[in-house]
Amino acid sequence: MPLITYREAIKQALAEEIEHDENVCIMGEEVAQYNGAYKVTEGLWDKYGDKRVIDTPISEAAFSGLAIGASCLGIRPVVEMMFMSFSYVAIDQLFNNASFCRYMSGGLMNVPIVVRGPANGGTNVGATHSHTPENMVANHPGLKVVCPSNAYDVKGLMKTAIRDNDPVFVMENTLLYGEKWEVPEEEYLIELGVANILREGNDLTIVAHGRCAMSALKAADILEAQHGISVELVDLRSIRPLDENTILESVKKTGRALLVEENKPFCGVDAQISHLIQLKAFDYLDAPVHRVSAIDAPQIYAKALEDWQIPNEERIIAGALKCLA
């Protein structure tokens, strides 16, 4: 299989879906002639033109509203946010309108939009550009959220998201854009709400998503090599819908759970998962559920501090050893 970057995998998914469905279009700031702020849409405007790849004014509220209205009439817009924190500017459009249109119309209107872009820290761009809002988006019934950890997943999940009739947020990570994975040339889709067991083990379950899954994978290798600890790693892929069964079956198997996420700990995704485990797998636990989250403070600008604020291999290993103590 070809080895391609996370960035290229997204672009392939977008191009394939534009060709698959004449109603798919891309819109956002600088996505066309400038090829996208992160070059994810590079070459797509040259190939597909103004009607399929649309540069918008610098107004997230305006082009999100445009996308929602167009989607109600059958268009399938893919909206790029230069930073996912910029979606806050469009919070009424996305969280208050897109999420509830189908429900409030009695199922008569679908809102098949995708909102995609980087949702991560670790790039030293300050507090207002470093949000991981998957927990906040998932709190709204009607919105779906996926957090792909690798190129294979981001392509398959992106294609599925574009074909979905509900609004789907695809939370990407700028630190993954240049990383490479094997991705098949033949077409494939990945179902929303299906987690992936990246590594099988018997002593400890680690549940993670996005780039944290890759950090946890490295930590798991070190734990086995240096401490003889067999880690099972569950990559969520999808936050909402959530694959509860895969999480629970893994925890029942190992008896211990370490939850890793870049969200801040208060009301984070892992707070929900911790509740799920204690509610439905409490009798299988040999130790309390442990968490490794981003340190609960505004995102730190200084690189040395931000690298520690986000879960890294060292913090994950320390959390695992504490869980197994």
Catalytic residue ranges: 60, 129
- CA dist 228 and 222 (Å) reads 9
List, as one string, the DSSP characters of 57-79: -S-HHHHHHHHHHHHHTT-EEEE
Q: Which residue has the tokens 């999480």?
A: 247
250, 206 in Cβ contact below 8 A? no
Query: Residue-wise over 56-94: b if at least 16 C-beta within 10 A, else e?
Result: beeebeebbbbbbebbbeebbbbbbbbbbbbbbbbbebb
Strand-strand pairing, 168-172 and 144-146: parallel
194, 243 in Cβ contact below 8 A? yes
End-to-end CA distance of the chain: 41
Amino acid found at 256? R
Quickly count: other Cβ atoms within 10 Å of residue 11's Cβ: 21
Q: Which residue has the tokens 């869980």?
A: 323
SS3 content of the chain, % helix, strand, coil (to 5): 40, 15, 40
Q: Which residue has the tokens 């294979």?
A: 152
* Burial classification of residue 184, based on how many CB atoms lie within 10 Å of its CB (0-12 exposed, 13-18 middle, 19 or more buried): exposed
